[in-house]
């Protein structure tokens, strides 16, 4: 009996050793390694159920994203498509354990729009600027860095980098034809109510607003003094072995001049077109970088300090950090799942989910957005 118990303990230890292995980092263009599925750790039937759930609950909007965008934001006055769009594919996704593939579905190499998932990439570019000391402190006023009139006035002059990152700046103005008050207006009232509203003190009220996100992208372009896609490519995507197929677009007329050079200011989303166009595998690589606390192989690509800052809940919204959603208790909490989970989310059901506790990265695309919590519960139940 004694030997039997020892053998059982050894078996459990060996299983744990397999799953507590060193993280795997796929080389560029390599065939991504599959994780060996242990029945003691993974319930494959439940995992298959999760994948089938994603396939069965495709985003209900049109695959012609021009139609989906105009329908999805039809309440916005003056809304129009200002940047590139692309017809989307069907549901696709990947579930990684310690970097290796547990399951994948759909066309994971197809490049599609990813909408507000772009915001988490934009936040990371801000983090790189912080790590390089191009931004000394996130509580610095942005007007001290960008003095061309974008942050003029008593109200806008108070706005800090952190306010922009947490989407609680209440920046007031117009950029690239987009008016702050016309972006995702309240469900009540009309144009006059929205246009002449009372401004909120920066840092007190969170409002999801693409115009203000684009103000952050514009400001970071002036801090970096180069196009943000170049920064992202050189400092993140090349280092994590991403493909050469992703693109980061701005609106057709969103040009600025820095150091005598004309450069495009990109967007942090796609609800007027533009934003990040990317495949599922490159999204998974980005998620894997965060799963490993900003480290890829032996290089610390983005600092752990920034990651800690980015995942702190903001005062006005406990479910939001620096353009990452947090699974804290609040209006967007996935009941029964770890509060340490955080994720990037975009229109049409695009998600990158990081679960440190179970060492999972989950990417799912074109899932009906209100089904993501149910989907993640199935994944959680499948992996011990």
Residue 8 has pLDDT above 80, yes or no: no
DSSP for 354-380, please give it: EETTTTEEEEEESB-GGGHHHHHHHHH
Q: Is residue 293 within 8 Å of 103, Cβ to Cβ? A: no
pLDDT value for 330: 86
pLDDT value for 17: 43
- Convert the pLDDT of each residue in 293-324 to its tens digit: 999 999 999 999 999 999 999 999 999 999 99
pLDDT value for 36: 85
CB count within 10 Å of CB 39 equals 9
Q: What number is the average pLDDT over the span 179-200?
A: 93
Residue 1 has pLDDT above 80, yes or no: no
Nearest to 69 by CA among 120, 110, 113, 118: 113
DSSP for 117-176, please give it: HHHHHHHHHHHHHHHTTSSS-TTSBGGGT--SSTT-STTGGG-BHHHHHTT-----SEET
- Does some domain include residue 152? yes
Q: What number is the average pLDDT over the span 70-88?
A: 96
- Convert the pLDDT of each residue in 217-254 to its tens digit: 999 999 999 999 999 999 999 999 999 999 999 999 99
Q: What is the CATH number of the domain that holds 121?
A: 3.40.710.10
- Does some domain include residue 28? no
Residue 273 has pLDDT above 50, yes or no: yes
- Convert the pLDDT of each residue in 148-161 to its tens digit: 999 999 999 999 99
Q: Quick one: pLDDT band at residue 22, thresholds 50, 70, 90?
A: confident
pLDDT value for 20: 54
Nearest to 25 by CA among 249, 315, 380, 284: 284
pLDDT value for 41: 87
- Does some domain include residue 25? no
Match 């804290």 to its residue by tokens. Answer: 328
- Does some domain include residue 259? yes
Residue 10 has pLDDT above 80, yes or no: no
Q: Quick one: pLDDT band at residue 100, thresholds 50, 70, 90?
A: very high
- Does some domain include residue 15? no
Q: What is the mean pLDDT of the chain?
A: 94
- Does some domain include residue 16? no
- Does some domain include residue 213? yes
pLDDT value for 19: 46
* Percentage of the chain modeled with pLDDT above 90: 91
- Convert the pLDDT of each residue in 334-359 to its tens digit: 999 999 999 999 999 999 999 999 99
Domain holding 140, by residue range, is 41-382
CA 376 from centre of chain:
17
Q: What number is the average pLDDT over the span 5-12?
A: 46
What total of structural domains would you count in the chain?
A: 1
- Does some domain include residue 29? no
């Amino acid at each position: 009996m004694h030997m039997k118990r020892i053998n059982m303990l050894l078996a459990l230890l060996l299983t744990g050793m397999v799953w507590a292995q060193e993280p795997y980092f796929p080389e560029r263009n390599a065939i991504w390694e599959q994780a060996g599925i242990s029945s003691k750790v993974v319930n494959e039937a439940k995992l298959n159920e999760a994948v089938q759930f994603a396939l069965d609950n495709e985003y209900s909007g049109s695959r012609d994203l021009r139609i989906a965008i105009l329908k999805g934001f039809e309440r916005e006055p003056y809304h129009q498509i200002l940047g590139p769009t692309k017809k989307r594919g069907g549901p696709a996704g990947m579930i990684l354990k310690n970097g290796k593939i547990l399951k994948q579905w759909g066309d994971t190499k197809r490049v599609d729009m990813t909408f507000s998932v772009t915001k988490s990439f934009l936040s990371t570019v801000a983090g790189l600027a912080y790590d390089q000391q191009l931004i000394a402190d996130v509580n610095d006023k942005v007007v001290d860095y960008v003095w061309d009139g974008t942050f003029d006035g008593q109200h806008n002059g108070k706005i800090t980098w952190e306010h922009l990152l947490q989407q609680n700046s209440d920046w007031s103005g117009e950029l690239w034809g987009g008016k702050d008050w016309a972006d995702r207006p309240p469900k009540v009232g009309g144009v006059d109510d929205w246009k002449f509203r009372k401004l909120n003190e920066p840092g007190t009220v969170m409002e999801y607003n693409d115009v203000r996100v684009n103000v952050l992208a514009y400001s970071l372009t002036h801090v970096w003094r180069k196009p943000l896609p170049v920064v992202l490519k050189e400092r993140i995507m090349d280092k994590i072995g991403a493909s050469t197929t992703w693109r980061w677009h701005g609106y057709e007329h969103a040009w600025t001049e820095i150091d005598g050079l004309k450069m495009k200011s990109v967007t942090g989303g796609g609800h007027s077109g533009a934003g990040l166009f990317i495949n599922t595998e490159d999204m998974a690589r980005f998620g894997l970088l965060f799963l490993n606390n900003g480290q890829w192989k032996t290089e610390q690509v983005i600092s752990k300090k920034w990651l800690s800052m980015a995942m702190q809940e903001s005062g006005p919204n406990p479910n939001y950090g620096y353009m990452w959603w947090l699974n804290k208790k609040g209006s967007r909490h996935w009941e029964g799942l770890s509060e340490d989970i955080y994720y990037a989310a975009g229109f049409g059901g695009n998600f990158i989910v990081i679960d440190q506790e179970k060492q999972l990265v989950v990417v799912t695309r074109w899932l009906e957005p209100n089904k993501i919590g149910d989907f993640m519960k199935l994944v959680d139940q499948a992996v011990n």
